[in-house]
Structures are given as C-alpha cells and as structure tokens.
Amino acid sequence: MHPWISQRAGSFDSSGIRKVFDLAAQLTDPINLSIGQPDFDVPREVKAAAIEAIESGKNAYSPTQGIAPLREALKKEVSAKFPHHGDRDLFISSGTSGGLVLSMLSMINAGDEVIYLDPFFVMYPALVRMCGGVTVPIDSYPDFRLDADKIAAAITPRTKMILMNSPANPTGVTASRSALKAVAELAADKNIALVSDEIYSRFHYDEEFVSPAEFNDQTIVIDGFSKSHAMTGWRVGYVHGPSEIIAAMLKLQQYSFVCAPQPSQWGALRAMEIQLQGHIDDYRRKRDLIMDGLSDRYEITKPGGAFYVFPKAPIASGAAFVEEAISRGLLIIPGNIFSDRDTHFRISFAAPDETLHRGIELLREMAKR
C-alpha cells in the first residue's frame, strides 16, 4: 500500500459491484440484471423543472439545508405521517448516501458499535469503519427477517446505533410491522440511535409501507428521490429526525458536501407532484414474473419491496456461480458483496421484460445443470 494512503482508506475494498460492471464492459448485448436503479427514465416534468431552474439562473449554492420550497413541502409530508413528533427537523442531503455518511460522522465515535442485518447494503460496513466504529452484522439467513430478539442479544454497552433498511437491498425483503415496532421500542428503551434507510419506501408491493419512526420519535429517517423517480445521478436525498441530531449533520454538511445540487432540488420539488403508481404496479408484475420463473428451481424469499431478489446459488459458492453466469452473458451480482456468506446472488428486476425473460431462461438452464 502506498505510504500516503490512510488506514481509513485501506481498511476496506472498493465496491465489488464496480468489478462486475468492469466485466460487463467486455460483453456485447449482455443480459443485464445487475443495476440497482429503475429502468424507466426521469419523468418529463421533472426534467423540465430542472431545465427551467438552470435557465432562470438557479445555479449557485443553495442554503446548506436545501431550498426552502422543497424543505417545506417535505416537512409538510413528514408532519402528516408523524403528527405526534414535535421536535423534528429536516434537511436536503446529497443523495441518501450523503445522508448516511453524515449520520455516521455525526454520531459514531471510535469503538462505537453499529448493528445491522446481514445481508446488508454495501456501504454500511465501509461507512462504520470509516468513522472508526465497530460493525455488528446480525445473520438474517435463510429468510432475511428482522428479528428483534437477535438484535437485543447483540446489544452491548458500546452499542451506539441500529441501522435498518426496509425494503432492503439486496434481498427486497420488507420487515413486518410487529418486528419494526419491537426494534424501534428496543432502541428507545436502550437509548440507542435508530437510523432507518427508507430509499425504497415507495417500492412496496403487498402492504402499506411502515417506518420505525412511527413507534420511536427519535428515529433518524433517510430517504430520497433517486430510486422512486430514477434520479440516481441527481443526488437529492433528505433526512429527518430530532432537531439536535439534524443540526449536527448540517454542520458537517457545510464542511463536506456543502449542499445538494440546486437545479436537482427544483426537479425534486416537481417530482413530489408526480404519480408513481403505474411504475409501482409494473415493478410488482416484474417481481411476480421473476418469482414465477425461478422459484421452482431456486431457493428464494419473496421480496415485498425494492426491485431485487436474492436467490441461493445451486452450487456452494455464489461468487463462482456468478462468474459462470457472466461468462455466459448474464450480469448478476455475487452475494458475498453484501454479506459475510458466499451462498447467494442478487438479481435486479429493474429491467425490460425481454431482458427478464432471457435471464430467467438462462438461470433455469444453469440450475438444471
């Protein structure tokens, strides 16, 4: 390692997903079921609002906390959801990733423990370590359920935060209302920070979305427009929680991200008026298409949200199975990127139906072999 590189930067690898994308670049006409972003385009009205913002000169820094109209619109939405939460504030972050970074930097000290489920979103362990924290992954195999008893058993005097993600990446699994309530109450009882990553909150197929903030008014909620409106490159997220925590995060945002891009924020304001039900219904249908096509050949927990399934590989190593799939033109992601185990792989069904049918056909053939 180069002597100038910090221990912080050397303590984790670059995202394994990037390696898959590098392999993908060598393929012609791949069956791409790897990408964690919607396959529909940004709504036309959202593009028009951002273009109008650019043309009318809204190109400077915005206030660190975000443009007032977007903040007010989001605060109104949050107040309607959580009417009994008095001391709650909100700011616009540079994507949900920016919100996650700031939540860690503002709350985690060296040696603090952070609990989260395994499988996990790739950023979680890296961000915890970046802040000098200690990762405490909770094994949730084989069905990826949130289990409050397992979390309770992992709590020590050093536990500072419980990090939740429902619907989850990479499994698509949604936590039950009762489990969310139990974990939210556990965090409140033990005075542990509860951070809820809700970026897939609008992709919920079988029942109403439930936030743990409903049961714990100190929950820090991170959400955004990246997945819901296909605005992944626009970098607009938002965070709401207790005002003292939000103030600390804002202070750090001033010295890091500064603000989310201003034209993108005007686009996000317009996005709040867009009806998404058609896309959600379409993704529910794609979820069912994948389940119908693969569940007789693979061990799969049915996802209740997001746009991922996380099947068990038919051979011992998920990574070896993915290598074979890529050699045959199918791009999927090995499960060991998201987990301490190497037994599964991630499929994204945010893809055209024709791509899904081609992927299902090849995966059925590979399972048979």
Fold assignment, 7-42+276-368: Aspartate Aminotransferase, domain 1 (3.90.1150)
pLDDT at 224: 93
Question: Which parts of the chain fold into alpha helices (H)?
Answer: 7-10, 16-24, 44-55, 68-81, 95-107, 123-130, 148-154, 177-190, 243-254, 262-271, 277-294, 318-327, 353-368
pLDDT of 212: 97
Q: According to the model, what pLDDT value does residue 12 have?
A: 73
Query: What is the average pLDDT score of the chain?
Result: 93
Question: Residue 86: is its pLDDT beyond 90?
Answer: no
What token pair was written down for 161? 């935060």
Distance, in Å, from the CA atom of 325 to the CA atom of 104, rounded to the nearest integer, reads 36
What is the model's pLDDT at position 16? 65
CA distance 84 to 96: 25
Q: Are 364 and 58 in contact (CB under 8 A)?
A: no
60-271: CATH topology is: Aspartate Aminotransferase; domain 2 (3.40.640)
Is residue 38 over pLDDT 90? no
The answer to whether 51 and 250 are in contact (CB under 8 A) is no
> pLDDT grade, residue 118 (50/70/90)?
very high
pTM of the model: 0.93
Q: What number is the average pLDDT over the span 108-119?
A: 97
Q: Residues 246-278: pLDDT tens digits? A: 999 999 999 999 999 999 999 999 999 998 888
In the block, residue with structure tokens 């200690």: 134
Same fold, 7-42+276-368 and 60-271: no
Residue 17 pLDDT = 67
User: What does the pLDDT average to over 47-68?
Assistant: 96
Chain segment 202-212, per-residue pLDDT in tens: 999 999 999 99
- The domains of the chain are located at 7-42+276-368, 60-271
Least trusted range by pLDDT, from 88-92, 225-229, 245-249, 300-304: 225-229
Q: How far is residue 33 from each of residues 12, 159, 279, 322, measured CA to CA in Å?
A: 26, 37, 18, 12
pLDDT value for 2: 84
**pLDDT at position 166 over 90:** yes
Least trusted range by pLDDT, from 82-91, 255-264, 350-359: 82-91
pLDDT, mean of residues 81-91: 85
